């Protein structure tokens, strides 16, 4: 019996030692992740992901350079003016790329939207600020959470929706900054699985059918909500094929067209695609080659795979504007003529 007990004790010690060793090794690996080459699973050789030319529905109709070192977001107002935020400034461009205005800010903006009244809504990391058309500050809204990271904003009618990637939630405000509700929290009664946001990219847009469009990147989905937080529908899946979303967490950016089309952008393997609002793939706007990624691999390290998020906006003419933070450019895509 003594020998048997001794054997059990030795076995437990060996198991415990192995567990501790594996845990320490894992921590070392994680801490050095950014310095290591990206694993084979995260590499996307461009020559292996060519897109069928028959699927590409758009062509480049123009581009212009951005006067910001770190541009982060883009939007377009009903008059066709293009707003780009980054660094500590907001730049306003005509559709030709000529700068119409630049307003320096006291904070680093993460996202921008223009309301139907012409007011500018900007997010800092943890709060929203509102400016008039001349760039004069009007309001600073209270921060919704001390740990908030507000990565997207959309003005839909009288509601302002703000995406918080850190807390995996979307806040609903009125236009005076009064918090009206939260969207995206796990709620089985409403059929909401909850937002999964492994990287700091959570995007929102106004749908043409009156619904709020929200990315759920960790679930590789696009979700549609009523303003009260009721999930109406969702679509999307993981996949390296053209209909799927790749990586840990895609899509990272969305925009809506006036005809009901939904534009999505992925990071890592950069693909910009067009879906019908019910989830059917209509075609491709641009792939890596069309976005100037002409050689090598799309990302060389985990840090690279988390950066360079291409942001989207659309205008009333159906053109798609792509903010390329790596080249510091706005690329404009127009629908190809049907022969």
C-alpha 270, offset from chain centre = 12
pLDDT in tens, 74-87: 999 999 999 999 99
The residue with greater pLDDT, 17 or 272, is 272
Q: 168 in the Ramachandran plot: left (φ > 0), alpha (ψ -120 to 50) or beta? A: left
| Angle, CA of 332, 158 and 146, to the nearest 5° | 85
Alpha-carbon distance of 226 to 172, in angstroms, equals 11
The residue with greater pLDDT, 188 or 90, is 90
DSSP string spanning 49-82? Answer: SPPPGGGB-EEEEEEEE-S-SSEEEEEE-TT--E
Give the pTM. Answer: 0.84
Phi, then psi, of 2 in degrees rounded to 5: -60, -40
pLDDT in tens, 233-290: 999 999 999 999 999 999 999 999 999 999 999 998 899 999 999 999 999 999 998 8
Q: What is the pLDDT of residue 307?
A: 53
The CATH homologous superfamily to which domain 44-335 belongs is TolB, C-terminal domain (2.120.10.30)
Comparing CA positions, the residue from 121, 170, 120, 179 lying closest to residue 149 is 170
**Residue 339 pLDDT class (50, 70, 90 cuts):** low
The residue with greater pLDDT, 36 or 123, is 123
User: Which stretch of DSSP H or E encloses residue 2?
Assistant: helix 2-31
Q: How high is the mean pLDDT of the chain?
A: 86
Q: What is the pLDDT of residue 30?
A: 30
Alpha-carbon distance of 303 to 268, in angstroms, equals 10
Percent of the chain past pLDDT 90, that is, above it, reads 75
Q: What is the pLDDT of residue 177?
A: 97
The answer, yes or no, to whether the previous bond of 251 is cis (omega within 30 of 0) is yes
Segment among 18-22, 101-105, 125-129 with least mean pLDDT: 18-22
Alpha-carbon distance of 272 to 331, in angstroms, equals 12
């Amino acid at each position: 019996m003594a020998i048997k007990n001794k054997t059990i004790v030795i076995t437990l010690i060996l198991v415990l030692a192995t567990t501790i060793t594996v845990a320490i090794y894992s921590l070392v690996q994680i801490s050095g992740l950014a310095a290591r080459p990206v694993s084979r699973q995260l590499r996307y050789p461009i020559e292996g992901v060519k897109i069928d030319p028959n699927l590409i529905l758009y062509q480049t109709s123009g581009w212009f350079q951005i006067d910001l070192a770190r541009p982060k977001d883009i939007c377009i107002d009903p008059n066709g003016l293009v707003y780009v935020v980054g660094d500590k400034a907001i730049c306003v461009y005509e559709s030709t790329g000529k700068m119409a205005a630049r307003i320096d800010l006291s904070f680093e903006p993460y996202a921008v939207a223009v309301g139907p009244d012409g007011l500018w809504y900007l997010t800092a990391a943890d709060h929203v600020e509102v400016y008039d058309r001349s760039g004069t500050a009007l309001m600073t809204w209270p921060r919704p959470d001390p740990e908030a990271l507000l990565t997207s904003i959309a003005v839909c009618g009288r509601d302002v929706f703000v995406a918080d990637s850190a807390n995996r939630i979307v806040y609903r405000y009125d236009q005076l900054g009064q918090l009206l509700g939260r969207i995206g929290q796990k709620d089985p009664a409403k059929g909401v699985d909850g937002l999964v946001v492994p990287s700091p990219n959570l995007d929102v847009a106004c749908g043409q059918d009156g619904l709020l469009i929200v990315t759920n990147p960790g679930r590789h989905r696009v979700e549609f909500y009523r303003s009260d937080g009721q999930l109406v529908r969702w679509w999307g899946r993981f996949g390296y094929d053209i209909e799927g979303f790749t990586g840990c967490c895609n899509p990272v950016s969305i925009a809506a067209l006036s005809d009901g089309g939904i534009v999505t952008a992925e990071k890592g393997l950069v693909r910009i695609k067009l879906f019908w609002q019910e989830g059917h793939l209509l075609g491709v706007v641009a792939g890596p080659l069309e976005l100037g990624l002409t050689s090598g691999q799309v990302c060389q390290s985990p840090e690279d795979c988390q950066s360079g998020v291409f942001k989207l906006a659309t205008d009333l003419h159906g053109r798609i504007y792509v903010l390329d933070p790596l080249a510091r450019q706005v690329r404009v895509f127009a629908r190809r003529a049907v022969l």
